[in-house]
Amino acid sequence: MYSEMFQLHADLLKALAHPRRLEIIHLLRGQELPVSDIHTMLDLPQANVSQHLMILRDAGVVITRREGKQVYYKVADIRIMEASDLLRQVLIVKHKDTPLAGELLLRMSELVPIVQDPVCGMRVSPKTAGFHVLHDAQDYYFCASGCVSIFKKEPAKYV
């Protein structure tokens, strides 16, 4: 029985063990999104996004709902996000004194205001934002890598 539980645990962690899949569940925090939005926000080919979503769906991390031709995804259990947040806190503490993380991770752990991703308008907090950019001495927080890429091409359009 214990070995079966350890196997289930390992299978779940395998499904989450990719930066893009972690980014996807981060995007789905507290909301449901259609594949087209996820594809746009991540700036990845739709086929690649679909593969990641299939792995997450097969592992029971996300669930789907169909509305016409559109398929919507959401995190299956809020505790997945809570576990992800706990792991992020462990990383913040572990790396708080390293050059790699240093001040940024420490600041992220202490900041809690809600801000808007300047590109897509999604509400994020500095603590849970997927990405951060310092531009003209101003902090900008983003939901996903696609929004960061768009911002970096034309920052003046979003400031």
**Residue range(s) defining the domain that contains residue 60:** 2-75
Among 48, 75, 102, give the residue marking a domain's end: 75
pLDDT tens column, 19-74: 999 989 988 988 899 998 888 888 888 899 999 999 999 999 999 999 999 999 99
Place of tokens 């390992």: 10
Residues linked to residue 74 through DSSP beta bridges, in sequence order? 63
Based on the fold, state whether residues 68 and 7 are members of the same structural domain.
Answer: yes
**Tokens of residue 118, six digits:** 């300047």
**Tokens of residue 13, six digits:** 């962690």
Distance between CA atoms of residues 22 and 137, nearest Å: 29
Whole-structure pTM value: 0.69
Based on the fold, state whether residues 7 and 70 are members of the same structural domain.
Answer: yes
Based on the fold, state whether residues 118 and 53 are members of the same structural domain.
Answer: no
Based on the fold, state whether residues 11 and 70 are members of the same structural domain.
Answer: yes
Please tell me the total count of domains within the chain.
2
